[in-house]
Protein backbone atom coordinates (compact mmCIF):
# COMPACT_ATOMS: atom_id res chain seq x y z
CA UNK A 1 0.00 0.00 0.00
CA UNK A 2 1.46 3.32 -1.03
CA UNK A 3 1.24 6.44 1.09
CA UNK A 4 -0.77 9.09 -0.73
CA UNK A 5 -0.85 11.66 2.02
CA UNK A 6 0.80 12.08 5.36
CA UNK A 7 1.37 14.81 7.90
CA UNK A 8 4.21 17.00 6.85
CA UNK A 9 7.57 16.85 8.60
CA UNK A 10 7.21 20.60 8.90
CA UNK A 11 4.77 20.19 11.79
CA UNK A 12 5.56 18.62 15.14
CA UNK A 13 3.29 16.03 16.73
CA UNK A 14 1.92 18.51 19.26
CA UNK A 15 -1.88 18.72 18.93
CA UNK A 16 -2.95 22.17 17.77
CA UNK A 17 -4.82 24.22 20.32
CA UNK A 18 -6.89 26.24 17.84
CA UNK A 19 -10.67 26.38 18.05
CA UNK A 20 -12.63 23.87 16.00
CA UNK A 21 -13.23 25.50 12.62
CA UNK A 22 -10.22 27.81 12.73
CA UNK A 23 -8.23 28.26 9.54
CA UNK A 24 -4.90 28.59 11.39
CA UNK A 25 -4.63 24.82 11.21
CA UNK A 26 -4.80 24.88 7.42
CA UNK A 27 -2.35 27.75 7.11
CA UNK A 28 0.15 26.16 9.49
CA UNK A 29 0.06 23.06 7.33
CA UNK A 30 0.62 25.04 4.12
CA UNK A 31 3.63 26.85 5.57
CA UNK A 32 5.06 23.64 7.00
CA UNK A 33 4.58 21.76 3.72
CA UNK A 34 6.31 24.53 1.75
CA UNK A 35 9.30 24.54 4.07
CA UNK A 36 9.58 20.77 3.79
CA UNK A 37 9.05 20.57 0.03
CA UNK A 38 11.57 23.32 -0.63
CA UNK A 39 14.10 21.48 1.52
CA UNK A 40 14.66 24.48 3.80
CA UNK A 41 12.94 23.28 6.97
CA UNK A 42 16.17 22.49 8.76
CA UNK A 43 17.64 25.95 8.12
CA UNK A 44 14.57 27.90 9.16
CA UNK A 45 13.96 30.27 12.07
CA UNK A 46 10.27 30.90 12.64
CA UNK A 47 9.34 34.13 14.42
CA UNK A 48 6.20 33.61 16.49
CA UNK A 49 3.95 36.59 17.25
CA UNK A 50 1.26 37.37 19.85
CA UNK A 51 -2.32 36.40 19.09
CA UNK A 52 -4.07 33.09 18.65
CA UNK A 53 -0.90 31.76 17.04
CA UNK A 54 1.24 32.75 20.03
CA UNK A 55 2.31 29.14 20.52
CA UNK A 56 3.20 28.46 16.89
CA UNK A 57 6.67 27.67 18.18
CA UNK A 58 5.16 24.41 19.46
CA UNK A 59 3.89 23.47 16.01
CA UNK A 60 6.49 24.45 13.39
CA UNK A 61 9.21 21.83 13.35
CA UNK A 62 12.13 24.23 13.26
CA UNK A 63 13.90 26.75 15.46
CA UNK A 64 11.71 29.56 16.67
CA UNK A 65 11.93 32.90 18.44
CA UNK A 66 8.89 34.31 20.24
CA UNK A 67 8.48 38.02 19.54
CA UNK A 68 6.61 40.70 21.50
CA UNK A 69 3.26 41.84 20.18
CA UNK A 70 3.81 43.52 16.80
CA UNK A 71 7.59 43.22 16.91
CA UNK A 72 8.05 40.09 14.80
CA UNK A 73 9.38 41.90 11.69
CA UNK A 74 12.00 43.63 13.85
CA UNK A 75 12.91 40.35 15.57
CA UNK A 76 13.10 38.73 12.12
CA UNK A 77 15.39 41.53 10.99
CA UNK A 78 17.71 40.83 13.89
CA UNK A 79 17.85 37.11 13.19
CA UNK A 80 18.11 37.40 9.40
CA UNK A 81 20.78 40.09 9.40
CA UNK A 82 23.08 37.95 11.53
CA UNK A 83 22.26 34.73 9.65
CA UNK A 84 21.59 35.81 6.05
CA UNK A 85 21.77 32.26 4.72
CA UNK A 86 19.04 30.96 6.98
CA UNK A 87 15.35 31.19 6.18
CA UNK A 88 13.47 33.55 8.49
CA UNK A 89 9.71 34.02 8.44
CA UNK A 90 7.12 35.71 10.64
CA UNK A 91 3.61 34.38 11.27
CA UNK A 92 1.35 37.24 12.36
CA UNK A 93 -2.32 38.03 12.86
CA UNK A 94 -4.10 41.24 11.97
CA UNK A 95 -3.88 42.76 15.47
CA UNK A 96 -0.18 41.98 15.63
CA UNK A 97 0.74 43.19 12.16
CA UNK A 98 -1.79 45.90 11.41
CA UNK A 99 -2.34 47.47 14.81
CA UNK A 100 0.56 47.52 17.22
CA UNK A 101 3.10 46.38 14.65
CA UNK A 102 2.54 48.89 11.84
CA UNK A 103 5.90 50.59 12.32
CA UNK A 104 7.78 47.32 12.34
CA UNK A 105 6.18 45.86 9.19
CA UNK A 106 6.50 49.12 7.25
CA UNK A 107 10.16 49.49 8.09
CA UNK A 108 11.07 45.86 7.50
CA UNK A 109 9.52 46.25 4.04
CA UNK A 110 11.12 49.66 3.63
CA UNK A 111 14.59 48.28 4.32
CA UNK A 112 13.81 45.38 1.99
CA UNK A 113 14.58 42.75 4.63
CA UNK A 114 14.99 39.38 2.93
CA UNK A 115 12.26 37.71 4.99
CA UNK A 116 8.84 36.15 4.36
CA UNK A 117 5.83 37.46 6.25
CA UNK A 118 2.78 35.22 6.65
CA UNK A 119 -0.07 37.58 7.51
CA UNK A 120 -3.23 35.81 8.74
CA UNK A 121 -6.08 38.30 8.48
CA UNK A 122 -9.33 37.27 10.19
CA UNK A 123 -10.60 40.76 10.97
CA UNK A 124 -10.74 40.29 14.74
CA UNK A 125 -8.71 39.81 17.92
CA UNK A 126 -9.36 36.12 18.58
CA UNK A 127 -7.06 35.24 21.46
CA UNK A 128 -8.16 38.07 23.72
CA UNK A 129 -11.86 37.41 23.22
CA UNK A 130 -13.15 39.03 20.04
CA UNK A 131 -12.23 42.73 20.05
CA UNK A 132 -12.21 44.91 16.97
CA UNK A 133 -9.13 44.77 14.77
CA UNK A 134 -7.88 47.34 12.26
CA UNK A 135 -9.16 45.00 9.55
CA UNK A 136 -12.61 44.47 11.10
CA UNK A 137 -15.22 45.25 8.44
CA UNK A 138 -17.56 48.24 8.56
CA UNK A 139 -20.62 47.52 10.71
CA UNK A 140 -19.07 44.31 12.01
CA UNK A 141 -19.98 43.82 15.68
CA UNK A 142 -17.14 42.95 18.04
CA UNK A 143 -16.68 43.39 21.78
CA UNK A 144 -15.10 46.81 21.30
CA UNK A 145 -17.37 47.84 18.46
CA UNK A 146 -20.55 46.72 20.19
CA UNK A 147 -22.74 48.82 17.90
CA UNK A 148 -20.87 47.77 14.76
CA UNK A 149 -17.69 49.34 13.36
CA UNK A 150 -18.47 53.03 12.90
CA UNK A 151 -16.40 54.65 10.17
CA UNK A 152 -16.75 58.11 11.68
CA UNK A 153 -15.20 56.95 14.97
CA UNK A 154 -13.05 53.99 14.04
CA UNK A 155 -12.17 54.55 10.43
CA UNK A 156 -12.41 52.07 7.61
CA UNK A 157 -10.57 48.76 7.69
CA UNK A 158 -6.94 48.98 6.70
CA UNK A 159 -5.69 47.23 3.58
CA UNK A 160 -2.17 46.12 4.42
CA UNK A 161 -1.25 44.41 1.14
CA UNK A 162 -2.03 47.60 -0.75
CA UNK A 163 -0.14 49.72 1.76
CA UNK A 164 2.97 47.55 1.86
CA UNK A 165 3.04 47.23 -1.91
CA UNK A 166 3.62 50.99 -2.24
CA UNK A 167 6.89 50.68 -0.35
CA UNK A 168 9.88 50.44 -2.72
CA UNK A 169 11.63 47.84 -0.58
CA UNK A 170 8.76 45.34 -0.87
CA UNK A 171 9.48 42.69 -3.48
CA UNK A 172 6.46 40.36 -3.49
CA UNK A 173 3.06 41.07 -1.94
CA UNK A 174 0.00 38.91 -2.60
CA UNK A 175 -3.37 38.50 -0.97
CA UNK A 176 -5.00 35.08 -0.98
CA UNK A 177 -7.66 33.32 1.07
CA UNK A 178 -8.24 30.00 2.83
CA UNK A 179 -11.93 29.59 2.05
CA UNK A 180 -12.19 26.43 -0.06
CA UNK A 181 -9.90 23.82 -1.63
CA UNK A 182 -9.07 25.87 -4.73
CA UNK A 183 -8.23 29.01 -2.80
CA UNK A 184 -6.22 26.98 -0.29
CA UNK A 185 -4.11 25.55 -3.13
CA UNK A 186 -3.54 29.06 -4.48
CA UNK A 187 -2.59 30.22 -1.00
CA UNK A 188 -0.01 27.46 -0.81
CA UNK A 189 1.44 28.51 -4.16
CA UNK A 190 1.77 32.08 -2.92
CA UNK A 191 3.42 30.99 0.31
CA UNK A 192 5.84 28.83 -1.61
CA UNK A 193 6.68 31.74 -3.88
CA UNK A 194 7.34 33.90 -0.83
CA UNK A 195 9.86 31.39 0.48
CA UNK A 196 11.46 30.95 -2.95
CA UNK A 197 11.83 34.74 -3.16
CA UNK A 198 13.78 34.60 0.10
CA UNK A 199 15.88 31.63 -1.06
CA UNK A 200 16.85 33.61 -4.16
CA UNK A 201 17.72 36.61 -2.00
CA UNK A 202 15.04 38.54 -3.87
CA UNK A 203 13.91 40.67 -0.94
CA UNK A 204 10.86 41.22 1.27
CA UNK A 205 7.69 39.22 0.71
CA UNK A 206 4.34 39.29 2.45
CA UNK A 207 1.45 36.91 1.83
CA UNK A 208 -1.84 38.07 3.34
CA UNK A 209 -4.29 35.20 3.85
CA UNK A 210 -7.93 36.03 4.47
CA UNK A 211 -8.99 33.68 7.26
CA UNK A 212 -11.84 33.01 9.63
CA UNK A 213 -12.59 33.19 13.34
CA UNK A 214 -15.88 31.37 13.71
CA UNK A 215 -15.91 31.78 17.49
CA UNK A 216 -15.15 35.52 17.42
CA UNK A 217 -17.53 36.11 14.54
CA UNK A 218 -20.29 34.06 16.15
CA UNK A 219 -20.78 31.97 13.04
CA UNK A 220 -20.45 28.26 12.36
CA UNK A 221 -17.36 27.18 10.44
CA UNK A 222 -19.00 26.78 7.06
CA UNK A 223 -20.74 30.18 7.27
CA UNK A 224 -17.38 31.60 8.27
CA UNK A 225 -15.77 30.32 5.10
CA UNK A 226 -18.58 31.88 3.07
CA UNK A 227 -17.99 35.17 4.91
CA UNK A 228 -14.35 35.10 3.82
CA UNK A 229 -15.30 34.46 0.21
CA UNK A 230 -18.14 36.95 0.02
CA UNK A 231 -17.75 39.78 2.48
CA UNK A 232 -14.03 39.78 3.22
CA UNK A 233 -12.77 39.23 -0.32
CA UNK A 234 -15.07 42.01 -1.50
CA UNK A 235 -13.31 44.54 0.69
CA UNK A 236 -9.86 42.93 0.56
CA UNK A 237 -9.49 41.96 -3.12
CA UNK A 238 -7.33 38.93 -3.80
CA UNK A 239 -4.37 39.25 -6.13
CA UNK A 240 -0.73 40.11 -6.57
CA UNK A 241 0.01 43.66 -5.45
CA UNK A 242 3.71 43.71 -6.05
CA UNK A 243 6.08 41.35 -7.79
CA UNK A 244 9.46 42.81 -8.51
CA UNK A 245 12.40 40.63 -7.77
CA UNK A 246 15.22 42.95 -6.80
CA UNK A 247 18.61 42.40 -8.40
CA UNK A 248 20.65 39.95 -6.29
Partner 1 sequence: MKKIKLVCAGFGGQGILTIGQMIAMMAMQKGLAVSWIPSYGPEMRGGTANCNVVIDEQDVGSPIIADGITHLLVMNQPALDKFISKMDKDGVVIINQSLIKDPKIPSGLTLIGVDSYQIAQDVGNIKVQNMAALGCLAKALGLFNQAEGLSVIEDKFKGKDQTLVQLNQAAFSQAFNSQS
Partner 2 sequence: MSKVLMKGNEAIAKAAIYAGCKAYFGYPITPQNEITEYMAKYMALSKGVFVQAESEIAAINMVYGAAGAGVRTMTSSSSPGIALKQEGISYCAGAELPAVIVSVSRGGPGLGNILPAQSDYNQATRGGGNGDYKVFVLSPNGVQEATDMVRHAFYLADKYRNPVMVLADGMIGQMMEPVELNIEPLETIEKPWAADGNLERGYRNIINSLYLNSKPLEEHNHVLNAKYLEWEANEVMVDYYQCEDATVLLVAYGTPSRIVKSAVNKLRAEGIKAGLLRPKTLYPFPSKEISALCPQVEFVLSAELSMGQMVQDVRLAVNGQVPVYFYGRTGGVVFEDKEIVDAVKSHLGGVK
User: Quick one: which of 120, 82, 80 has its CA closest to 203?
Assistant: 80
Beta bridge partners of 62: none
**Residue 9 interacting entry, from partner 2, partner 1, none, C-beta within 5 to 8 Å by type:** none
User: How far is it, in rounded angstroms, from Cα 208 to Cα 120?
Assistant: 6
**Residue 224 interacting entry, from partner 2, partner 1, none, C-beta within 5 to 8 Å by type:** none
Beta bridge partners of 93: 120
Distances 119 to 66, 91, 164, 190, 223 between C-alpha atoms, Å: 16, 6, 12, 12, 22
**Residue 68 interacting entry, from partner 2, partner 1, none, C-beta within 5 to 8 Å by type:** partner 2
16 binds partner 1 (CB under 8 A): no
Contact track, partner 2, 16-55, x by CB under 8 A: ----------------------------------x---x-
146 binds partner 2 (CB under 8 A): yes
**Residue 17 interacting entry, from partner 1, partner 2, none, C-beta within 5 to 8 Å by type:** partner 1
Contact with partner 2 (CB under 8 A): which of 10, 73, 93, 134? Answer: 134
Least Cβ distance, residue 24 to partner 1 (angstroms): 13
User: How far is it, in rounded angstroms, from Cα 162 to Cα 185?
Assistant: 22
Beta bridge partners of 198: none
SS3 content of the chain, % helix, strand, coil (to 5): 40, 20, 40
Q: CA 150, 70, 207, 248 torsion: positive or negative?
A: positive
17 binds partner 1 (CB under 8 A): yes
220 binds partner 1 (CB under 8 A): no
Alpha helix ranges (H) inside 20-177: 24-37, 72-82, 94-95, 102-110, 151-154, 160-165
65 vs 240 by CB, closer to partner 2: 65
Binders of partner 2 among 48-107, rule CB under 8 A?
Answer: 50, 54, 66, 68-70, 95, 99-100, 102
Using CB under 8 A, list all residues that contact partner 1. 17, 19-20
Using CB under 8 A, list all residues that contact partner 2. 50, 54, 66, 68-70, 95, 99-100, 102, 125, 127-129, 131-132, 134, 143-147, 154
Amino acid sequence: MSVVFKKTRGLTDTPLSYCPGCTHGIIHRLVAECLDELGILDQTIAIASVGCSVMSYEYFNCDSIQAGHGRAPAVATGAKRVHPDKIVFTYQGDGDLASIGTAEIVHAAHRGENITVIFVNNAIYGMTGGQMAPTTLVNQVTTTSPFGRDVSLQGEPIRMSELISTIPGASYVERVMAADPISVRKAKAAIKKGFERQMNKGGFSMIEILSSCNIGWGKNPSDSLKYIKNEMAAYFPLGVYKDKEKPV
